[in-house]
Amino acid sequence: MEIHRLPALSDNYIFLLHDPTQGCAAVVDPAEAAPVLTALRQLGASLVAIFNTHHHGDHVGGNTALLRQFPDAVVYGGAEDRGRIPGQQIFLREGDAVRFGDRPAQVFFIPGHTRAHIAYYFPPATDSEPGELFCGDTIFAGGCGRLFEGTPRQMVSSLSKLRNLPNHTRIWCAHEYTLKNLQFACAVDPTNAELQARQQTVAAQRQQGEATVPSWIGVEKATNPFLRWDTVSLQYAMQTTDPVQTFARLRGKKDQW
């Protein structure tokens, strides 16, 4: 399974999964159709599936146009998003499985950003390869999504599921927010040397116009404050020892950043 990262809109990423042996492709969160159609033509591939993580327009905006070109493509999304994702045919819940080519994926129900958000996790195909996590707007590189329809407790539970994945898991998050996220992270976690070094690396990458996605679970666990609600230094900074309150206060500060 090849993964192609397609820039879209102002800061979105669409992910095209390609099976060159079968000449087929699937797309994760098509914000718009044009970049996907261009990539499909270049690859000589047919679209067989659309994997949506949630209903927001910058994740499903291309569904309808893609289905006009590939009417047999199957549209997947969360069960709680019924009626909110254009063309949705498969309604997924926690623990369900999907497949692209010869690769199975596990579905996680991860409400918080929205009430119906899901993620797709493809375990490693071999011991030497990474797992692949498509998490929409739940984890970002250095950050997490805003809580539009969920609660801090829900988001901590959702992030815990993803934090428990192997460190050698690539995180394909849907926006290029990394530099701003790490600037905030450095402000709330100033003694984290690994975080400081990461921020400098990302700043240099962005100056060169390089993408910072995918990230890795191991990197996020060490440097992303929104996965570190049980860290003493962050609890001290947020003036609470309660993990959910620590997360909630961090998210509130980021909302005002």
- Predicted confidence (pLDDT) per residue in 56-113, tens digit: 999 999 999 999 999 999 999 999 999 999 999 999 999 999 999 999 999 999 999 9
**Catalytic status, residue 117:** no
Domains of the chain, residue spans:
2-178+212-224
Nearest to 136 by CA among 169, 170, 172: 172
**Catalytic status, residue 54:** yes
**Catalytic status, residue 175:** yes
The catalytically annotated residue of 96, 113, 117, 189 is 113
Q: Parallel, antiparallel, or unpaired: how do β-strands 46-51 and 74-78 relate? A: parallel
Q: Which residues of 183-207 are buried (b: 16+ CB within 10 A; e: fewer)?
A: ebbbebbeebeebbebbeebeeeee
**Catalytic status, residue 56:** yes
**Catalytic status, residue 137:** yes
The catalytically annotated residue of 18, 55, 56, 117 is 56
Place of tokens 């976690």: 189
**Catalytic status, residue 230:** no
The catalytically annotated residue of 29, 81, 96, 137 is 137
The catalytically annotated residue of 18, 29, 55, 59 is 59
Digitized pLDDT (tens) for each residue of the chain, 257 residues in all = 999 999 999 999 999 999 999 999 999 999 999 999 999 999 999 999 999 999 999 999 999 999 999 999 999 999 999 999 999 999 999 999 999 999 999 999 999 999 999 999 999 999 899 999 999 999 999 999 999 999 999 999 999 999 999 999 999 999 999 999 999 999 999 999 999 999 999 999 999 999 999 999 999 999 999 999 999 999 999 999 999 999 999 999 999 98
The catalytically annotated residue of 54, 55, 81, 189 is 54
CATH architecture for segment(s) 2-178+212-224: 4-Layer Sandwich (3.60)
**Catalytic status, residue 58:** yes
Q: What is this structure's pTM? A: 0.96
The catalytically annotated residue of 18, 55, 58, 81 is 58
pLDDT score of 215: 98
pLDDT score of 189: 96
